[in-house]
Structure 1
Amino acid sequence: MELRKLTADDYEACMALSEYAFQFTLSEEQLEKRRQEFARHNVLGVYADGQVGAKLQIIPFQTYIQGRAFEMGGIAGVATWPEYRRKGWVAGLLRYALEEMNRNKQSVSFLHPFSFGFYRKYGWETYVEFKKYKLTTSMLPTKKQTPGTIKRGNPELPVLKQIYDEYAARYNGTLNRDDAWWSNSVYVKKGSQRAVYYDESKVPKGYVLYEVKEGKFTIGEMVHLNEEARQGLWTFIANHDSMIDEVTLQAPASDLLAFQLDNPRIQQEVVPYFMARIVSVEQFISQYPFASQDSPVQILLEVEDAYAPWNEGVWELNVALNGTASIWKKAETERHAQNDQQIRLTIQTLTAILMGYRRPVEMARIGRLEGPANAIEALEKAVPKRETYLLDFF
């Protein structure tokens, strides 16, 4: 087995493996577009018997966390030829990927798991879920008159980006989309129909990307910055009632749509979605904006991370009054001396907490975090509350 970075010469071999493993076939045009993407990605592979036996790719992204853009490595395309499975090659690739992301200052990583349990073994943890709705036309929100207007058609990209960027920064774990991602992923996958809501001052405040086909209104993405825009978009959707029988969409896990309906008994499902992993505790926490404090806070974190040994150990976290953090690893002798005064947790638990998906107190309650009550409470106060959400897929 030989682990190495793959090059453009390996593209055909990688695509053959992907098509086989994920059971799809691409056209010549699609293959050429994938070739261009392949050149931008960090692709790692295992060579055996003179061929690519397994591979994965690291896609360079930025993600919003506590309103800031963090460098993120998106793991995708993990595949192995069936004759080479159960040999530990994916585990080797994931170790290699963590080392690569650490070198490239990608302090956090996301992936969409085929199995949550499988990737938990390597340090990733669930960080986001969403609500999936299906409504019949008779259940749609009541039409309301709003002071703004809807413009349907093909809005310029800067208009959609302006709305999306403000919306995405309100959550943890959303993508900071570049123009290429909008063109190659959002526009292609979210629906060819687009409509924008403008308020009374002609400022764009919401949009919907959708398809209307065979009596179904399928919302690929719906974004609104205030309640007025939400009502305006739903009224626009409801005005299709003579053309459609049902509407489907996804929304943040905390979404209040059902509560705001005359009949809240609609079909809704909570779907666990992506996983996240802190790649470098030091890099991640150094740029993480904690909550403002009444007095400086010092917390000791004993982190367990078998697959990224640079994270393993006891870290001293200091949070200033303005929420700025500094962190450094304690020496081995200090680690044992302070053992009864620190919080003990895995990298998975730390990720879930700092992403905002779970709170320190509730993780302690279910045994995922151990330590003195005053230290846990200090961490609880230091981590800002902000919901996770992800509108994209890779």
Structure 2
Amino acid sequence: MLKDKIQARLKIRHLEMEHLTQFNDLLRYAFQVTYQELLDAGWQEDEIRQSKSPVLQKADVLGWFDEEKLVSQIAVYPMRVNIHGRIFEMGGVTGVATYPEYAGMGLMHELMTRSLQEMRSRGQTISFLYPYSIPFYRKKGWEIVSDKMTFSIRDTQLPKQVDVSGMVERVDLEHPDLKGVHNRFTEIRHGALVRDDLAWEEYWRWDSEDVVAALYYNERHIPLGYVVYWIRNEVFTIKELVYLNEEARHGLWNYISAHFSMIRRVQGDNYTGEPLAFLLEDSEITESIAPYIMARIVDVQEFLKRYPFSGSAQRKSHTKLTFSIADPMAEWNRGIFSVQWDAQGVQHISREVIGEPVEMDIQTLTAMLLSYKRPSYLYRIERIKAAQEDIEVLETLIRREQPYFSDYF
């Protein structure tokens, strides 16, 4: 058969800078972004070609080649993420694409399997991605772990001014205080991406030239928050609003409200997992919620070793749990993983059964340990099979703060 002949000549290999044009061409074809559309949006020819060069320079990129033609690809960025106060190495999956004439040959399945193996070897125990198809990635072991809330506030609903001791200053997008605030925010916010230079490049990549950054400084000129936004057609659009305390929150909303005479509406995205309406005097605003980022644990054993369970050392020393995990892609994640704590509260992981297993798939384990959904809820909807007492133990051991993830790559 012709398909068999094609598969026989396909080879997997890592992409290099020499493959940049083919990499970009495949991305634009798969996501239906034409060269002319990019030009119309204000991109220059050199910018179009170089727009994804950081991927090939800094990421691990695998592809299938039909002789010298790139036909399928996947890229993994080296990233880090805060999980309940502990920083984990993370593989950020992007650039997933296959030409349609090569569909149905299992190419992407093999690329994802190889990528997971390589993430594991690099110590990236968890992976995040922005999904083009949630069902597709669920079949591969990823699960939704955070939401994006979109809000719209009329000018007459903007908060009244609250007295604060500091003030807001507009700054350059490369201002060190902007990155400094985000670094401090990452240290205290579960789920937040640790933005290195690569992550900041991705953060700004598709923004237009009218984007503005404004920082809130307290009376000692210490930066405590920022808002990234643009104003267009009398609409104030918030890309991201970050604050380290309530003073900064009030100060930033004072600044936004000061645009009252210039705008008709404020709109934006909220990634906190909590509705904005409750914080406003006039709460009758429009808010919508949609799933945003997906994640999957790459290496269950190593992830559990470092995972910051809640609870005192004394309680942990009397606690034992056995997980039975199913994983459609990573065979090393299948089977038994037992967790127990010594008298000092140090957790130990083994592959031996030490109690009645708590059964779930890798998607459910990821959503549960990242606190996107509670163990009792997952048990109620039959995503977990376990004894009731084990669910109660899990409720005490897993922290309640939902993930905050505002990045796109």
TM range (shorter): over 0.9
Secondary structure of 2:96's aligned partner:
strand
Structure 1 segments unaligned to the other structure (5+ residues): none
Equivalent in the alignment of 2:98: 80
Structure 2 distance, partners of 1:211, 1:323, is: 49
Are positions 1:218 and 2:259 aligned together?
A: no
Equivalent in the alignment of 2:24: 15
The residue identity in structure 2 corresponding to 1:101 is: M
Structure 1 distance, partners of 2:275, 2:55, is: 38
Secondary structure of 1:370's aligned partner:
coil
Q: Identify which of 359, 379, 385 aligns with 1:370.
A: 385
Equivalent in the alignment of 2:42: none
CA RMSD, Structure 1 to Structure 2 (Å) = 2.0
Q: Identify which of 258, 264, 270 aligns with 2:283.
A: 264
Structure 1 distance, partners of 2:84, 2:216, is: 27
Aligned partners of 1:154 and 1:194 also within 8 Å: yes
Are positions 1:300 and 2:322 aligned together?
A: yes
Written as runs of structure 1 = structure 2, the 5 A alignment for 1:35-54 is 35-54=53-72
Structure 1 distance, partners of 2:65, 2:106, is: 13
Written as runs of structure 1 = structure 2, the 5 A alignment for 1:210-289 is 210-289=229-308
Aligned partners of 1:131 and 1:269 also within 8 Å: yes
Structure 1 distance, partners of 2:158, 2:83, is: 33
Written as runs of structure 1 = structure 2, the 5 A alignment for 1:96-245 is 96-154=114-172, 157-183=175-201, 185-186=203-204, 189=207, 192-245=211-264
Structure 2 distance, partners of 1:386, 1:255, is: 10
The residue identity in structure 2 corresponding to 1:221 is: E
The more displaced of 352-361 and 48-57 is: 48-57
Structure 1 distance, partners of 2:346, 2:268, is: 38
Aligned partners of 1:218 and 1:247 also within 8 Å: yes
- When normalised by structure 1's length, the TM-score is 0.92
TM-superposed deviation, 1:321? 6.2
Q: Please list the CA deviations of residues 245-280 of structure 1 after superposition, one character each: whole Å capped at 9, or x if unmatched.
A: 111111134435312323222111011001000000
TM-superposed deviation, 1:187? 7.5
The residue identity in structure 2 corresponding to 1:47 is: F
Count how many residue pairs are aligned between Structure 1 and Structure 2: 387
Q: Matched residues, percent identical?
A: 34
TM-superposed deviation, 1:323? 5.3
The residue identity in structure 1 corresponding to 2:292 is: Y
Q: 1:125 to 1:321 in 2, by over 3 A?
A: farther
Q: Please list the CA deviations of residues 15-37 of structure 1 after superposition, one character each: whole Å capped at 9, or x if unmatched.
A: 11112112223631342352243
Q: 1:2 to 1:213 in 2, by over 3 A?
A: same
Structure 1 distance, partners of 2:190, 2:279, is: 25
Secondary structure of 1:169's aligned partner:
helix
TM-superposed deviation, 1:356? 1.2
Q: Please list the CA deviations of residues 161-220 of structure 1 after superposition, one character each: whole Å capped at 9, or x if unmatched.
A: 222122223333221001343255347638631211111232211111111122111111
Are positions 1:349 and 2:371 aligned together?
A: no
Q: Identify which of 46, 49, 71 aligns with 1:31.
A: 49
Are positions 1:291 and 2:310 aligned together?
A: yes
TM-superposed deviation, 1:292? 2.8
The more displaced of 382-391 and 230-239 is: 382-391
Aligned partners of 2:215 and 2:227 also within 8 Å: yes
Aligned partners of 2:202 and 2:408 also within 8 Å: no
Aligned partners of 2:54 and 2:198 also within 8 Å: no
The more displaced of 217-226 and 17-26 is: 17-26
Q: 1:343 to 1:137 in 2, by over 3 A?
A: same
The more displaced of 374-383 and 354-363 is: 374-383
Written as runs of structure 1 = structure 2, the 5 A alignment for 1:58-77 is 58-77=76-95
Q: 1:258 to 1:323 in 2, by over 3 A?
A: farther
Structure 2 distance, partners of 1:371, 1:221, is: 40
Q: 1:382 to 1:183 in 2, by over 3 A?
A: same
Aligned partners of 2:74 and 2:111 also within 8 Å: yes
Aligned partners of 1:119 and 1:125 also within 8 Å: yes
TM-superposed deviation, 1:322? 6.3
Are positions 1:329 and 2:351 aligned together?
A: yes
Secondary structure of 1:264's aligned partner:
coil
The more displaced of 371-380 and 190-199 is: 190-199
Structure 2 segments unaligned to the other structure (5+ residues): 1-9, 39-44
The residue identity in structure 2 corresponding to 1:376 is: I
Runs of at least 4 residues off by over 6 Å: none
- When normalised by structure 2's length, the TM-score is 0.89
